[in-house]
Amino acid sequence: MAAWLICIAALFLLQLFSRSIHRFWGYRFPWRISSAALLAWALGATFPMSGGFGLADDLLVALAITRVLLWFGLELLPRWRLLPHSPKILRDLLFVLISGLLVVVTLQQRAKVDLLGIVTTSAVLTAIIGLAAQEPLKDLLGGLSLQLEQVLREGDWIEVGGLIGQVQSISWRDTQLRCVDGSKLVMPNARVTASDLRNFSGYGPHANRIFVGLDYSLPPGQAKELLLLLAHQHPLVLSDPAPIV
């Protein structure tokens, strides 16, 4: 009973801390995995004879500590300009790698399960994992190259594969665009890096070529003067660089 009272109080304080950080500074604290670790700890304390709850408790606590440390070091400190900013996909990759290592170590120590030995001694399993990981690995490397080289960022307007849209998110697997017609396009990172990419937002003002059909009886000089007058009067057309007809 005491464990559950401590758990409920800790969950309340965790929610209060998370909401306060989000309200005053706009930062999102990873409270979900921390809450799951607290619940697993309470279950383990309630049923001490059950080895499953103890194993889950160790795993979730290790994952929660890893997630909070990565949040503090790679998300919070860069926003305070104490460390350089790191791409989201790199933070996710570090969390997956460290979490996988912690899971392997915990299973070896608590459950006496040698996952590395099982995988390395099974040639068929290794071949299956290698074949299944080809495309996700291409997408992962493509997403890393897009963010580390800063080819595009969230919010940029780009053209890729003949399609124009605004970048909504870049994950380890795909890049999501909101197209000019309002639809959502999900494109694998490997396809984005393999296609010709034009970024309209990351390199200052850019031109947009527009074709206007006029009557052939209209003199060319008068047509150019009319189109330039319309361009200069449009609020979204820049005066520097000046429009060209």
217 occurs within a structural domain: no
Q: Which of 82, 102, 132 is the last residue of a domain?
A: 132
Radius of gyration for the alpha carbons in the chain, expressed in angstroms and rounded: 27
Per-residue model confidence (pLDDT) at position 166:
93
187 occurs within a structural domain: yes
The CATH number covering residue 172 comes to 2.30.30.60
113 and 59 co-located in one domain: yes
- Note down the domain range covering 86: 2-132
Question: What is the residue type of 191?
Answer: R
162 and 105 co-located in one domain: no
Question: CA torsion angle for 95, 96, 101, 107 (degrees, to 10)?
Answer: 110
226 occurs within a structural domain: no
CA angle 70, 73, 75 (to 5 degrees): 80
156 and 70 co-located in one domain: no
71 and 106 co-located in one domain: yes
Number of domains comprising the chain: 2
Cα separation values, 25 from 34, 90, 141, 154, Å: 20, 23, 32, 21
9 and 111 co-located in one domain: yes
Per-residue model confidence (pLDDT) at position 229:
93
Task: Give the contacts of 55 (CB within 8 A, at least 6 positions apart).
Answer: 106, 107, 110, 111
Distance CA 149, CA 175 (A): 15
pTM of the model: 0.57
Q: Which helix (H) or strand (E) holds 177?
A: strand 174-179
Per-residue model confidence (pLDDT) at position 34:
83
95 and 32 co-located in one domain: yes
212 occurs within a structural domain: no
128 and 42 co-located in one domain: yes
Rama region for 150: left / alpha / beta (φ>0; ψ in -120 to 50; rest)? left
Indicate the DSSP class of residue 208.
Answer: -
223 occurs within a structural domain: no
Q: How crowded is residue 94: how many other Cβ atoms within 10 Å of its Cβ?
A: 15
Distance CA 107, CA 111 (A): 5
142 occurs within a structural domain: no
165 and 44 co-located in one domain: no
117 and 185 co-located in one domain: no
116 and 160 co-located in one domain: no
127 and 6 co-located in one domain: yes
173 occurs within a structural domain: yes
206 occurs within a structural domain: no
Indicate the DSSP class of residue 29.
Answer: P
- In this structure, the strands spanning 157-160 and 197-199 are antiparallel
44 and 104 co-located in one domain: yes
Could you tell me which of 167, 173, 171, 172 has the C-alpha nearest to residue 154? 167
Question: CA torsion angle for 80, 83, 87, 91 (degrees, to 10)?
Answer: -100
Q: What is the pLDDT along the chain (245 residues), one digit of tens a residue?
A: 677 788 888 888 888 888 887 777 777 788 788 888 888 777 777 776 555 556 777 778 888 888 888 888 887 777 777 777 777 777 777 888 888 888 777 777 766 666 556 555 555 556 665 666 667 777 777 877 787 777 888 889 999 888 899 999 888 788 999 998 889 999 998 888 888 888 888 777 878 888 988 899 999 999 999 999 999 999 989 888 889 99
